[in-house]
């Protein structure tokens, strides 16, 4: 729940408007237009419950974290260290999800000030280049301090694979995995983490949708 107080954005757990943040994540998922999908998430983790105040939020450029093996493999989140099943993705999937996320936040008219993306990106690149050995949470905190932000959002894309095949035969199912973090600049704490892992399923893998399959004359309805 969001409430205004002294022109500041006051929140309880989770950080900023839960509905706004979830809507941004859900928009990413809806626009991918999966047919017959199974998923794990979105999952949320928050810091211990306490009142959190965020006047200004900075969103640093999302990153695509790719495994060394071309066939895919496990990678670690640069912030929390949790492993995820990742795959190399063509193009710039991190830009796609970042753009959708920012557009949805702005569309919902958040009660906090979202800092200019180009300025945030420039500061992030400069501090990252001069702090190559520093841990990412320290870099993000420095970015937030320079920008006068109360919180910094970072997103990581681990897998972004488009569907290949025709309506009746899928050569390669669509699959997406990403996560987002919110870092509190005052102490560097990660106060929110959201993850999403979704892969298209086949008819045999999703028997619970068999009736929808037949009602749709052999085509998935969801």
Please check whether residue 140 lies inside any domain of the structure.
yes
Residue 178's pLDDT is 86
Whether residue 221 lies inside any domain: the answer is: no
**What angle do helix axes 93-107 and 18-32 make, rounded to 10 degrees?**
130
Structural domain contains residue 142: yes
What is the model's pLDDT at position 34? 31
Let me know if residue 14 belongs to a domain.
no
Residue 143's domain is classified under what CATH number? 3.40.50.10610
Establish if 220 belongs to a structural domain: no
Quote the pLDDT of residue 30.
42
Give the closest residue to 115 by CA, choosing from 159, 172, 55, 157: 55
For residue 170, being part of any structural domain is answered with yes
- Residues 75 and 85: their CA atoms lie apart, in Å, by 7
* Residue 15 included in any domain: no
Indicate the pairing of strand 164-166 with strand 169-172.
antiparallel
Q: What angle do the packed helices 136-147 and 117-130 form, to 10 degrees?
A: 130
User: Does residue 11 lie within any of the structural domains?
Assistant: no
Confidence at residue 176, expressed as pLDDT on a 0 to 100 scale = 81
**Whether the Cβ atoms of residue 61 and residue 94 lie closer than 8 Å to each other:** yes
**Total count of domains within the chain:** 1
pLDDT tens for the chain, 222 residues long, are 444 444 343 333 444 444 444 454 555 444 433 333 333 445 555 555 555 678 899 999 999 988 888 777 888 999 988 888 888 887 888 898 888 888 877 777 777 888 999 999 999 999 999 988 899 999 999 999 999 999 999 999 998 876 655 555 555 667 788 888 999 999 999 988 888 887 766 544 444 444 454 455 444 434
Structure tokens at 28: 């990413």
For 101, the domain range is 23-215
* Sequence-ordered list of residues with C-beta below 8 angstroms from that of 120, at least 6 positions apart, any chain: 58, 59, 60, 61, 143, 147
Peptide bond into 42 cis (omega under 30): yes
Residue 50 CB neighbour total at 10 angstroms: 9
């Amino acid at each position: 729940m969001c409430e205004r107080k002294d022109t500041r954005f006051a929140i309880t757990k989770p950080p900023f408007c839960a509905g706004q943040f979830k809507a941004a994540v859900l928009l990413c998922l809806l626009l991918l237009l999966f047919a017959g999908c199974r998923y794990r998430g979105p999952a949320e983790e928050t810091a211990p419950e306490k009142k959190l105040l965020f006047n200004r939020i900075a969103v640093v450029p999302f990153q695509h974290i790719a495994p060394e093996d071309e066939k895919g493999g496990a990678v670690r989140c640069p912030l929390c260290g949790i492993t995820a099943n990742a795959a190399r993705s063509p193009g710039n999937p991190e830009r796609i999800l970042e753009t959708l996320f920012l557009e949805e936040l702005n569309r919902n008219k958040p009660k906090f000030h979202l800092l200019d993306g180009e300025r945030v990106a420039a500061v992030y690149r400069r501090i990252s280049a001069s702090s190559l050995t520093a841990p990412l949470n320290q870099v993000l905190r420095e970015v937030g301090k320079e920008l006068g932000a109360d919180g910094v959002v970072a997103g990581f894309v681990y897998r972004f694979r488009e569907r290949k095949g025709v309506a009746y035969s899928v050569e390669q199912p669509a699959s997406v995995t990403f996560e987002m973090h919110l870092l509190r600049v005052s102490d560097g704490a990660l106060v929110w983490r959201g993850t999403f892992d979704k892969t298209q399923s086949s008819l045999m893998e999703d028997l619970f949708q068999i009736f929808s399959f037949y009602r749709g004359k052999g085509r998935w309805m969801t």
